[in-house]
Structure 1
Amino acid sequence: MGSGEEANKPTSLYDSSSQSQPLLLKPPSIEEPNQPDQPESDPTQYLQISYNYGPRPFKDLPFVIFFVFVVLCTFGFGIFSVFHKNSNYSNLSSYKYDLNSNSCARNSTFNGFYESRFDFYALSSSGSVFLKSLIWTLVVTLILSVPICFLLLLSLKHYTKQIVYVSLPFFVVIPIFFNVYWFVACTVSSSCSDAFPLVYRILVLVFVFLIIGIIVWIFVANWHRIELTVKIIGVASDALSKNLGLFVVIPLLTLGLVVYYAPIVVFLVFARLNGKIVPKESNGEYRCVWKQDSWVPAYYTLAILTMLWSLTIMVEAQVYVISGTVAQWYFTKEDAKPRRSIRSSLRHAFGPSSGTVCLSGLLICVVRFVRAVVDSARQEDVPGMVNLVLRCCVKALLSAVDFLNKFTINFVAITGEGYCTSARMTYELLKRNLLSAVFVETVSTRLLAGITFVLSAIYAIVVCAILKGASSMGVYSYVVAVLAWALLIIVLGFFVHVLDNVIETVYVCYAIDRDRGEVYRTEVHEVYSQLPISRNHRPPIAPIAPVV
């Protein structure tokens, strides 16, 4: 590390090791006579865990090579499908079975294309008012979502407690309002009351009230954690406000994924055109059907798996960039500002750590796939004790993988180590030093999700009132309002996703600080030190603040 990094390091209880040592290398122990060997849990063994500013070697390289091979196969067969397409697919309905040749022949008098085009224009003209209102509403919502996100961030940074406590009653009031509103509206409307009998309306009404009661019970049971969660959200909002460039980079990465998806979707469309028209006998009658080439289903499987793996890789890459950027801010002195932190995180994510990101994305993809298979098997209700035990074991294994993977990519972004090393070091770090990771994840995430739901619901109510007062769409105004609510909650969900990753990154950085006996961010230690302590916690040496 260079001199700039030395200036960023706070005072420590221990002498710094030589800079030529590897990042996670244990410092040599000084052997004294008649002294027993140090136990493995001695915190001084792990003083080298910190942000790696130096050059990083490539890790987990076979997985990025395998991913590139899969993508090349997807694009290669996709290009083949484009040039190998059969243009007769769109004219399938014009083919008739010819008894003389025992094959399908085209009927030249067919005029289905013009009929379908006429139907399309007729359909589009009938719904032009609804379509125009929908487009304008979604465009305005998308534009307004940007200042809404920034205002929410600033509010959470300066007025976290007020925002949370003002939003808490709305978590109950808004569901009650919608529940009563739909019941009354459906009862008043003759068409709705005829299609939905009173008994079923009452059952749905009671069911929704039961869900609201469960929400109230959750808040009452976790009320003692609300105050601490408010402080955690405030600290994370302050960290995110110091790295606003993430709100530009992360959407651009998502846009890049969409651009990357576009040719694959085109290949999937053209893959359907690879085949031929053949006669098929059914109940003694022959008709012409489309028969795909035998390789098309396999290509569909390959392309869909490639898209899913690419999606999880992009999600992990975004987490990596967020973690690397926030970690550089954390491990910088409070009166200094890290330079090119986002650029270096991007370079590491798609460079030395690209194999680790691919491996993490593959694990997430496999876990989601196996969980979907287990859930579908449960819905089939297959009897047998062995089947029940296997499902429980698989769920326990998947939960363990999810927990292990949760903070691993944060640790990779900080240290630049490989996946397996980072998973082991993260587990040992958290085990040595405290802490209730579940607390950090669940309470803050639920509070943030509730706040976004409240804001989106209020916005949808305003949109619906404006549409009903300024237009004559009738019931379609509710459809537009629901779509506007969905768009805004997606954008705010992206904001919550970024803030959640900031919370987790600061959590890992705090654990590293605690493990080293140092304090880089005093305000973070004041908050995170109040987290519940693990039963097996061995208190580390008390940290001391850096000398400014």
Structure 2
Amino acid sequence: MGSTDESNKPLNLYEPPSSPSQPLLSKHFPSIDAPISQIDGATSEPDQTQYLQISYNYGPRHIKDLPFLILFLLFVLSTFALGIFASVNRNPNSNNISSFAFDSISSSCIKNSSTNAFHYQKQLFFGTPISLNSSNSSLWESLIWTLVITLILSVPFVLFVLLLLKHYTKQIVYVSLPFFVIVPIFFNIYWFVACTVSSTCSDAFPLAYRILVLVFVFLVIGVIVWIFVVNWHRVELTVKIIAVASNALSNNLGLFGVLPALTLGLLVYYVPIVVFLVFARLNGKIVPRENDGEYNCVWKQDSWVPAYYALAILTMLWSTLVMVEAQVYVISGTIAQWYFSKDDSRPKRSIRSSLRHVFGPSSGTICLSGLLVFVVRVVRAAVDNARQEDAAGIVNLILRCCVNALLTAVDFLNKFTINFAAITGEAYCTSARMTYELLKRNLLSAVFVETVSTRILAGIIFVLSALYAIVVCAILKGVSHLGMDSYFVAIIAWVLLIVILSFFVHVLDNVIDTVYVCYAIDRDRGEVCKQEVHEVYVHLPISRNHRSSLVARTPLVV
């Protein structure tokens, strides 16, 4: 039992346990199994309160990771400043090279006359007639109308899927599972029969190749079946996890308005950069070039233009990843406020406060996270490119394995870091360390191995979008005369719907991760903010490495 001075000692979130025999679980939380409960029963009083401060930070937050925010702003400002310079400094004669001729007296290219330039411009804009026959016009009209209707229907479709996942999760999962096999088999047999019947397809695609593709697709389907058979014991837990996440998302439907708005804002932000890239191409001059003793006038681009292209493309890629991380931050902050609310009512202005944090104190953290993800993807692309080049040698193989292991570790580290930063407002490195320690103290995996939910959700949206494509194709064949073009329109509609539903699955995955971190904080504090979440997440597999180390120390406690 601690003394009075010890009880009045201020809490320190970052102080590690003072001795190796201190238990890591709060004794107020139900145990998972017998050995852990024995360790839990010997918890001392100072350790119970050591980490109680970890919760959602409703107070004012201080700006974090400021250097990375400044670096990102320098990239953006440089891109826009040089883009404005490129727009003003562009050469108006860049498209009139044919109107210039080499002058031997001045040893330079001079313009012949304005008539040639006018003739060139007229030929450029009006010289190539655009012809659209009735067949192409009908195809484009059907395609546009199909995409517009799909976009309109996607909003109630997503809400309907969310409603089904919230109230009838088990039914929709078990009904969809057979379609994971039936739909690929149907398409595999259908294309084989259709190609065999069509003389054009059968001539271009011999029977032997068709049989080879048919067998290969069936092998892939067999692998899918094997994956579900192996993971069948986790399907029931996955159903409950999806239901909990769907319930959390349904209580924060405003995310479906804010997240697409952020994506639209990113596209608007891209527009001037794309315009600057077009104008940057027009920066240069017309110079003479000797070819077999004759001088011709050619276009020579300014030397700084390629560097600007590299800068603008890097800025766009970094901005894309920053926006993705910002969306994760908004999702995490909003869901965390719902989770830690003491009553069933939804917290007010939760999305607004998350937006204020992501574009305010935590903007540097978001920029750093986006930069790390960008670097990881670039290095991984370089490693994959080196693998395709078949670089021989045991050293290259070892280096690739080490790099892949490092990149995988960074991905896993980044997985919950932004979730934790959105909850606490801490800096990136601090959030990464505290997240790992939080999960480790509570015997939870830092990787979160429950990935079956993502695979099942991906399968569900594939099935739903495929069924929608079949319905679209049937309607087009019944009301139009597109013929084989109806398959093309149906495929485009399928791609559009599956992109929209993939965004929905992305949001739901981030909700699952956020609830997971909130559940770990609850365990750490010995509290239960959402009973329905604890009833599900308590069945998640614990970290075996952490458990074995604790069990090994059990005799010391006893």
TM-score computed with the length of structure 1 as normaliser: 0.89
Aligned to 1:450: 459
1:90 aligns with 2:95: yes
Aligned to 1:60: 65
The structure-2 alpha-carbon separation of the partners of 1:386 and 1:273, relative to structure 1 and needing over 3 Å to count, comes to same
Aligned to 1:7: none
Letter of the 1:323 partner, please give it: S
The structure-2 alpha-carbon separation of the partners of 1:360 and 1:20, relative to structure 1 and needing over 3 Å to count, comes to farther
Letter of the 1:122 partner, please give it: I
1:367 aligns with 2:376: yes
The structure-2 alpha-carbon separation of the partners of 1:340 and 1:23, relative to structure 1 and needing over 3 Å to count, comes to farther
Aligned to 1:5: none
Structure 1: distance between partners of 2:293 and 2:484: 49
SS in 2 for 1:88: coil
Q: Which moved more, 1:348-357 or 1:192-201?
A: 192-201
Letter of the 1:74 partner, please give it: T
Shift of 1:202: 1.4
Aligned to 2:404: 395
Aligned to 2:54: 49
The structure-2 alpha-carbon separation of the partners of 1:37 and 1:374, relative to structure 1 and needing over 3 Å to count, comes to closer
Aligned to 1:39: 22
User: Does structure 1 conserve the Cα–Cα contact (< 8 Å) formed by 2:102 and 2:288?
Assistant: yes
Shift of 1:290: 1.9
The structure-2 alpha-carbon separation of the partners of 1:369 and 1:25, relative to structure 1 and needing over 3 Å to count, comes to closer
1:306 aligns with 2:315: yes
User: Does structure 1 conserve the Cα–Cα contact (< 8 Å) formed by 2:87 and 2:276?
Assistant: yes
Aligned to 2:206: 197
Aligned to 1:278: 287
1:382 aligns with 2:391: yes
Aligned to 2:13: 24
1:118-153 per-residue CA deviation (whole Å, 9 max, x = no partner) reads: 576524456322211111111100000000000000
Aligned to 1:251: 260
Shift of 1:238: 0.2
Aligned to 1:75: 80
The structure-2 alpha-carbon separation of the partners of 1:236 and 1:281, relative to structure 1 and needing over 3 Å to count, comes to same
Q: Which moved more, 1:180-189 or 1:159-168?
A: 180-189
Letter of the 1:512 partner, please give it: I
Shift of 1:187: 1.4
Letter of the 1:199 partner, please give it: A
Letter of the 1:491 partner, please give it: I
The structure-2 alpha-carbon separation of the partners of 1:169 and 1:115, relative to structure 1 and needing over 3 Å to count, comes to farther
1:195-228 per-residue CA deviation (whole Å, 9 max, x = no partner) reads: 1112211111111111111111111111111110
The structure-2 alpha-carbon separation of the partners of 1:183 and 1:279, relative to structure 1 and needing over 3 Å to count, comes to farther
Letter of the 1:24 partner, please give it: L
Within 5 A, what are the aligned runs for 1:189-338? 189-282=198-291, 286-338=295-347
Aligned partner (choices 415, 427, 435) of residue 424 of structure 2 = 415
Structure 1: distance between partners of 2:387 and 2:229: 32
Shift of 1:373: 0.9
Aligned to 2:38: none
Q: Which moved more, 1:341-350 or 1:188-197?
A: 188-197
Structure 1: distance between partners of 2:481 and 2:124: 30
Q: Which runs of 5+ in 1 are unaligned?
A: 1-16, 30-35, 541-548
SS in 1 for 2:434: helix
The structure-2 alpha-carbon separation of the partners of 1:349 and 1:135, relative to structure 1 and needing over 3 Å to count, comes to same
Aligned to 1:129: 138
The structure-2 alpha-carbon separation of the partners of 1:220 and 1:97, relative to structure 1 and needing over 3 Å to count, comes to farther
Shift of 1:325: 0.4
The structure-2 alpha-carbon separation of the partners of 1:202 and 1:279, relative to structure 1 and needing over 3 Å to count, comes to farther
The structure-2 alpha-carbon separation of the partners of 1:296 and 1:458, relative to structure 1 and needing over 3 Å to count, comes to same
User: Does structure 1 conserve the Cα–Cα contact (< 8 Å) formed by 2:13 and 2:54?
Assistant: yes
Structure 2: distance between partners of 1:339 and 1:235: 21
**How many residues matched?**
519
Structure 1: distance between partners of 2:16 and 2:452: 38
Aligned to 2:32: none
Letter of the 1:168 partner, please give it: L
Q: Which runs of 5+ in 2 are unaligned?
A: 1-5, 27-47, 551-558
TM-score computed with the length of structure 2 as normaliser: 0.88
SS in 1 for 2:403: helix
Sequence identity (%): 73
Structure 1: distance between partners of 2:66 and 2:361: 8
User: Does structure 2 conserve the Cα–Cα contact (< 8 Å) formed by 1:404 and 1:423?
Assistant: yes
Aligned to 2:42: none
Aligned to 1:495: 504
User: Does structure 2 conserve the Cα–Cα contact (< 8 Å) formed by 1:432 and 1:538?
Assistant: no
Letter of the 2:168 partner, please give it: Y
1:386-414 per-residue CA deviation (whole Å, 9 max, x = no partner) reads: 11111111111100000000000000001
Aligned to 1:543: none
User: Does structure 2 conserve the Cα–Cα contact (< 8 Å) formed by 1:334 and 1:521?
Assistant: no
1:304-337 per-residue CA deviation (whole Å, 9 max, x = no partner) reads: 0000111111111110010000000000123333
Aligned to 1:157: 166
SS in 2 for 1:86: coil
Structure 2: distance between partners of 1:473 and 1:291: 47
The structure-2 alpha-carbon separation of the partners of 1:323 and 1:478, relative to structure 1 and needing over 3 Å to count, comes to same
Structure 2: distance between partners of 1:284 and 1:240: 72
Aligned partner (choices 177, 184, 191) of residue 168 of structure 1 = 177
The structure-2 alpha-carbon separation of the partners of 1:179 and 1:94, relative to structure 1 and needing over 3 Å to count, comes to farther
SS in 1 for 2:391: coil
Shift of 1:523: 0.4
